[in-house]
Amino acid sequence: MQVNMHEAKSQLSKLGEKVWDGETVVIAKAGKPYLDLKPHREGQVERRPGRLKGQIVIADDFDQASQEIIDAFEGGF
């Protein structure tokens, strides 16, 4: 759903309920998308690259596959 800025100001409460119900609301300015209205989520954890380093083990033969498996993925069966 896309609404203009004026409509968003006058119907913010109603639009907020729609967003919480799962609807996507885009607020437009001069007819072009300007803002996305999203619900606030508590406790989102900030992603930190490498925080599982040393905890994940990848087998030496991870990227080796038999011809049978390759054929199955490529439609050879």
Whether 19 contacts 39, CB under 8 Å: yes
Q: What share of the chain is helix, strand, coil (3-state, %, to 5)?
A: 30, 20, 55
Residues 6 or more apart whose CB falls under 8 angstroms from that of 10 comprise none
For the chain, the domain total comes to: 1
Tokens at 3, concatenated: 């609404």
The 10s digit of each residue's pLDDT in 52-69 is: 899 999 999 888 888 888
**Does the residue 11 lie in any domain?**
yes
Residue 36's nearest CA partner among 25, 47, 45 is: 25
**Does the residue 58 lie in any domain?**
no
Q: Tell me the three state secondary structure of residue 2.
A: strand
Over residues 10-28, the mean pLDDT reads 95
Q: In which domain, by residue range, is 11 found?
A: 2-37
Whether 33 contacts 44, CB under 8 Å: no
Over residues 5-9, the mean pLDDT reads 94
**Does the residue 27 lie in any domain?**
yes
